A and B are shown apart, each in its own frame.
Chain A
């Protein structure tokens, strides 16, 4: 009691017991507030880096946009429990993904795109939105053929594995037939992702035969570009309005192409010109 600084005050003239009690109370409140604020600040600092997940950590189907998801997900793991394929994991403390939230890594286990979407059904809060009824509407991410230099199809081989494992084959991934200029006698069938159909399930990334996949599923915000709002695509406008908006074009004659429709640059028959006439 002797070392208590407030005890000394009691001897001072003018320091009534109530003012001592008040001072003591205010001191304790200040200390409590200080510690409380420090702890919360610590939480803010510790929680901040997790606001941006690593690109390989994909959210389950139906997950709200990341900022909303972090407000909505109570980290109960019910989605993880109801995932029949053990695709989903809960982020451990101290990892790169926000502590306790569900995610999956496509290269390890991809989403099997269950028709009944059990993870969404299991979510008690709606962090995985119940508005997602059709798994084909899911946007877990977007597959990107990120490396044209190692993709076997780009090297002229017929790998096609990503295309063949795609649950939305011929819509989310198509093979585009392109002339192989290196051999000049073959076709290249290039895997091409279409963002309006890709669900980001990650099966293509999982199945890619390379040691490091050439096709990867990324968060949409990372993968997708954006056209400026004022851009119009001429061919779309033309189809919408049943004709060109600016009328027919003036056709200029092209030497050697006389008698061909405008834009038709195909050369047929004779040797030379654009067609070397080479036959295997």
Chain B
């Protein structure tokens, strides 16, 4: 049976896809804000997700790129510094990997690969260790320091895809296809869950974030495993749902992307969004 089938029966299609739909709307809205300028001449957000200026006043800068620049030995100017500070403050509060689930356009690609993988019943593959992303993160900073240039940006698929979408550059379809093929045929949830240094960086950023998902109704869990099947980082669920190593019902792992898919697919309404001090639990 497909994951979430029970949820669809109980809560209806929209009830079982609410956060997914909201997430796709969020991702498309972010893109639309950048595309309205070049496509229709309505300039809302200029630049791209690495650094932008919204409505001519709000600067936003990707702190990972900012840190790479520092590692390469360059102190960016005040605008970038303010922009990075705003972004850091937001994700420290709301969960770093909120970016991965709600903003990053690559998410749609990897979600599609994961979906197709489930539909085709592909189980094989060679998944790199989940810690690899931290090595890539450290490596990207070391490489920047060693060469005094933003080395990772030569190959970073995330920024390549973003830039290509927003600036209408060619040459990125191959990158999108490579990530899709890798996630589909080689490693389940390989890119976002194991390799992407941006995800690792935002994960570290939101380690103590306020916004969390809780398995507060875990007593109702019937072990259908649907949440584990759809979760892009399934290892984060167990401690909260099964009291493995922690008593709290909160999903506290930094890898949780706050995507809310577990809330959607659970027919028993086990999961909810809450804040990190909410310890309420039915068991």
Does A78 lie within 8 Å of B53, measured CB to CB? yes
Expressed in whole angstroms, the Cα–Cα distance for A244 and B51 within the complex equals 58
Given contacts A43-B143, A75-B159, A92-B169, contact A124 B61 (CB under 8 A): yes
Report how many A-B pairs have Cβ atoms within 8 Å.
180
Docked Cα-Cα span, A95 to B167, in Å, equals 15
Give the contact-size bracket for chain B.
35 or more
Q: Indicate whether A74 sits within 8 Å of B80 (C-beta atoms), given known contacts A29-B131, A40-B139.
A: yes
Whose C-beta in chain B lies nearest to the C-beta of A101?
Answer: B153
| Contact B76–A40 (Cβ < 8 Å) | no
| A13 to B160 CA separation, bound complex (whole angstroms) | 53
Q: Is the CB of A75 within 8 A of B163?
A: yes
- Enumerate chain A residues within 8 angstroms of B52, measured Cβ to Cβ: 76, 78
Residues in A with CB closer than 8 Å to B48 are: 75-77
| Contact A37 B171, CB 8 Å, known A74-B61, A76-B48, A124-B53 | no
Specify which chain B residues have a CB less than 8 angstroms from the CB of A42 in the assembled complex: 155
Tell me the bound Cα distance from A38 to B170 in angstroms. Answer: 26
B167 touches A47 (CB 8 A): no
Which residue of the partner chain B has the closest CB to A50? Answer: B154
Among candidates B51, B136, B140, B167, residue contacting A90 with C-beta atoms closer than 8 Å = B167
Partner of B77, one of A31, A77, A126: A126
By a CB distance below 8 angstroms, the chain B residues around A76 are 47-48, 50-52, 61
Interface size on A, residues (CB 8 A): 47
- Which residues of B lie under 8 Å from residue A98 when comparing CB positions? 149, 153-154
Q: Which residue of B lies closest to A39 (CB)?
A: B136
Cα A170 to Cα B174 with chains together (Å): 49
Interface digits, B2-29 against A, CB 8 Å rule (1 contact, 0 not)? 0000000000000000000000000000
How would you classify the secondary structure of chain A's contact residues: helix, strand, loop or mixed?
helix
Interface string of B150-161 (1 = CB under 8 A from A): 111111100110
Query: Is A161 an interface residue, CB under 8 A from the partner?
Result: no
Nearest opposing residue in chain A for B83, CB measure: A124
B residues within 8 A CB of A47? 147, 149, 151-155
Say yes or no for B239: interface residue by CB 8 A criterion: no
Query: Is B179 among interface residues, defined by CB-CB distance under 8 A?
Result: no
Compute how far the CA of A95 lies from the CA of B133 in the bound complex, rounded to whole angstroms: 27
User: Are B77 and A124 within 8 A (Cβ)?
Assistant: yes
Query: Complex Cα distance A215/B79, Å?
Result: 38
* A257 is an interface residue with CB less than 8 A from chain B: no
* A36 touches B (CB below 8 Å): yes
Partner of B46, one of A31, A70, A82: A82
Instruction: Evaluate whether A71 and B69 lie within 8 angstroms (CB atoms) in the complex, with A32-B134, A76-B50, A93-B175 already known.
Output: yes
User: What residues of A have a CB within 8 angstroms of the CB of B155 in the complex?
Assistant: 42-43, 46-47, 99
Taking a contact as CB atoms under 8 Å apart, the answer to whether B147 and A44 are in contact is yes
CB 8 Å contact bits of B254-273 with A (1 = contact, 0 = none)? 00000000000000000000
12 A-B contacts (beta carbon < 8 Å): A33-B135, A37-B135, A47-B149, A67-B149, A71-B144, A71-B149, A73-B150, A75-B150, A75-B163, A92-B171, A95-B171, A122-B46
A interface with B by C-beta (< 8 Å): 28-29, 31-33, 35-37, 39-40, 42-44, 46-48, 50-51, 67-68, 70-78, 80-82, 90, 92-95, 98-100, 122-127, 130
B residues with CB within 8 A of A: 37, 43, 46-48, 50-53, 59, 61-62, 65-66, 69, 72-74, 76-77, 79-80, 83, 128-136, 138-140, 142-144, 147-156, 159-160, 163-164, 166-167, 169-172, 174-175, 195
